[in-house]
Structure 1
């Protein structure tokens, strides 16, 4: 199996997990109507948020056409990461590229379906009340980026040798 197939297999799994979590909270829990579900307060609370911008709600007041730009960026990044990772020969690189691609496309499809990214996870601790929400795709993107930062240079260099 080639690296691209492995990367896209991870991306598909990531995408499906993300979208299943969003379907569950949006339609199963009816979180847009309920607004808040305390799962394990204050450590984990579901709070419905619709992010029209980028991380932490930046650019959320941008015009409608910016949604198309953000969708295009997600697709472009996915193509670039596929190209970059096509020669990767280690599982953690396939996982890293796949998690970022799957997460980016999961958030992009939200923009297509809902006009915004569905965020619902909120975690607070130790007297700190986190004002932000995020979603499963964001977790995968962060984990994939972390893998690339920790192992990317070394693994990709070893792949070339």
Structure 2
């Protein structure tokens, strides 16, 4: 029983180690310890082997050999589930990061009037969020007017033209 509980505890310690080093060993072994041989998969296998084996040993008359067999089967299942889950997490894709070039052609509203060849402010949607930009226009544009972005001048300013002329 002590051996099985020690294996389970060692698996938990290995899991904590895998969280702390966070891929360091995979980097050192250049992908050899990746996938089904990764540290979290080995930790899941070892923990389940030890703890499931201890449960079987303490509750059934199977003995040590039967407990190790049941623990190994449970460990293999836990390792496979850990591997599948980590692969699913690695494939999870986020949406594309917005770029300033994405603003070209978008529509906005003038917040502060834009004088001819001067700067005012417009409210645009960048990445789904309302963002205020400094705006320059060749013609004067009144507050509240709809504008289109012609160019991005910097990270905080755009060139616009009236949507309706």
* TM-score (normalised: structure 1): 0.28
Higher RCO (Cα < 8 Å, 6 or more apart): 1
For the pair shown, the structure with the greater C-alpha radius of gyration is 2
Indicate the structure with greater strand content: 2
Indicate the structure with greater helix content: 1
